[in-house]
Structures are given as C-alpha cells and as structure tokens.
Amino acid sequence: MVIGVLALQGDFAEHKQKLAECGAECFEIRQLKDLERKFDGLILPGGESTVIGKLLREIDLFEPLKKKITDGLPVLATCAGMILLAKNIENDNTVHFGTMDITVKRNAFGRQLGSFHTSSEMKYIGEVPMTFIRAPYITECSGAEILAETDGKIVASKQGNQIALAFHPELDECIKIYEYFLSLCSDD
C-alpha cells in the first residue's frame, strides 16, 4: 500500500513516520509530476490552510488532487487539512477542495497558547490521544458523520473515504487512527 503525503507545509515528516510504523510505503507530494505515481491514499497535514491552498494552485496541484479526492481517493486530513476539505469556513468565503459537507471554525480553540492535549473516544477506533495546536473545530456536520467530540465540540468527522481531524495524531504515539485510515485505503 502506498500513501502520498502532501509536503508543502506542516508535519508531513511526522505523518510519514506514523505510516512507516504501520508498514505502509509513502512518498512526498511536492509537485505535479509526483501525482504520476500510483497511490492508495492521501494525507493532508496541518500547517496554514490559506498558504497551502495558495501553493496548491500556484504549482498546479489543486485541480488534479481535487479530482482524485472526488473520485474516491481515501484522505486523512489533519487541522489545516480539515479546513481544505470543508465546504464552509466560518467568517470566510474561501473554499478550497470543498469535498466534505462540514463547516469549520479556524483557530477555534484559540491561538498557540490555547494548544492542549486530551484523549477522547473516536468512533470505529476507541480512545485516542488528541493534540490540538491552534486547532479548528467543526461547527456543522450536514453530510458527514461525527467521529469524535471534545468538550462538546466536533473534532473528527468522516464522509465517504475522507476523514477530517481537528487535532494532530502524528504528534502522539498512538497509531490506531493510521491503522483505521489504511483499512479504508485497502477497501478498494
């Protein structure tokens, strides 16, 4: 199984490490020619969603990746990656991929000083550690399934083969989320 990891910004190296721990082969997606390689799933890491969205368009990755996602490529999106998948962003008219029927609120848990760690139950997986860094959360899940909540806020959702997380599983020792994601990638 081969997973492409968007490597324009964020914790892509940490995601690659987690995938390796699960026995998956992975590679970095940095330019259009990287999409010529066959892959079974995609990681959209955290970072700054506005910058990532701009870079995706500047290097002509946006449309080909969006097509792969809409065609059913499994995606695990964390933090800024979740914002990229959202159909709506509160107080912002920007839409990036817009492939998940969710509304997100950017920096909803606060700025850098509002970062925190907790654990919570996640549907299909069980209890998982959750590290939030300037994290968004989901304010509305109209067509997506809620997978996890923290303090009454939706922090994980799933729609089809897309999983969106407000937190950073790559920063915790647990690999259960990656194992679940890889099971979606092998269902094809």
Q: Confirm whether 79 is a catalytic residue.
A: yes
CA nearest to 8, candidates 56, 64, 72: 56
Q: Exposed/middle/buried for 151, CB within 10 Å: 0-12, 13-18, 19+?
A: exposed
Exactly one of 26, 79, 141, 185 is catalytic; which is it?
79
Exactly one of 14, 15, 26, 168 is catalytic; which is it?
168
Query: Distances in Å between the alpha carbon of 16 and those of 6, 26, 44, 61, 101?
Result: 10, 6, 11, 20, 27
Exactly one of 14, 26, 170, 185 is catalytic; which is it?
170
Q: Confirm whether 168 is a catalytic residue.
A: yes
CB 149 within 8 A of CB 122: no
Helix (H) or strand (E) holding 156: strand 153-159
Residues annotated as part of the active site: 79, 168, 170
